[in-house]
A and B are shown apart, each in its own frame.
Chain A
Amino acid sequence: DVKVTQSSRYLVKRTGEKVFLECVQDMDHENMFWYRQDPGLGLRLIYFSYDVKMKEKGDIPEGYSVSREKKERFSLILESASTNQTSMYLCASSSWTGSRRYEQYFGPGTRLTVT
């Protein structure tokens, strides 16, 4: 089974702190994604990566950056956390190939609270 893990289930940070959210997948997937999930808004894509060191902005990249130094790991960085970044953050991965191509596999999520 595909496994996507995220470094923390719950995180509380202060305004202005630099925050790192880590995601690791074990299925050699090429693509990795970061979403934020807010009630009534569904999932919104922040950034995605289709290869090591490659990244593309999603729909709401402002205030975020990402890093993908290894294929299995995709990090989301909040350079200076703000209260409006309080949210659930979901990581996902997918492959270009195989019978289950394009299906995204999700991690358990990190609920971030910025105070």
Chain B
Amino acid sequence: AQTVTQSQPEMSVQEAETVTLSCTYDTSESDYYLFWYKQPPSRQMILVIRQEAYKQQNATENRFSVNFQKAAKSFSLKISDSQLGDAAMYFCAYRGNSGGSNYKLTFGKGTLLTVNP
């Protein structure tokens, strides 16, 4: 079964600085999707960024970018120019593309990011 590990339960960053959240995953599949989701306090979970495994280029969305290392099974999220509104719980998620894994997302346990003014 696929597993997703976020080794940092909590992180903090100063406003305007850069922070990197780590995620590793375990899979035997070669084709899959990876996602980072953001859940602000008492608010709805939203998608931050996605990466298809077959794409070598790292995905970027404005201040958010990923470092996707397929061989190392690593998928870290970098937040540049951190803002107070970036404070949230961040979840890394995996979606396989074969067999019984192709319906669901497997989530990590989350990293709580605090942004200090």
Contacts and interface: CB of A to CB of B under 8 A. Distances in A.
B109 interface: yes
A94 B45 CA distance: 14
B103 A109 contact: no
A104 B4 CA distance: 17
B47 A103 contact: yes
B91 A102 contact: no
B103 A56 contact: yes
Contacts of B93: 104
Interface residues of A, number: 21
Interface in A37-85: 40-45, 48, 50, 56, 58
B99 to A, nearest CB: 13
A44 B104 CA distance: 10
B109 A33 contact: no
Nearest to A111: B42
A42 B104 contact: no
Contacts of A48: 103-104
A92 to B, nearest CB: 8
B25 interface: no
B109 A40 contact: yes
Contacts of A107: 44
A106 to B, nearest CB: 4
A43 B44 contact: no
A95 B105 CA distance: 13
A40 B111 CA distance: 10
Interface of B: 9, 33, 35, 37, 43-47, 50, 91, 93, 95, 103-105, 107-110
17 contacts: A40-B109, A41-B109, A42-B109, A42-B110, A43-B107, A45-B104, A50-B103, A58-B104, A90-B45, A102-B33, A104-B93, A104-B105, A106-B37, A106-B45, A106-B46, A108-B43, A109-B44
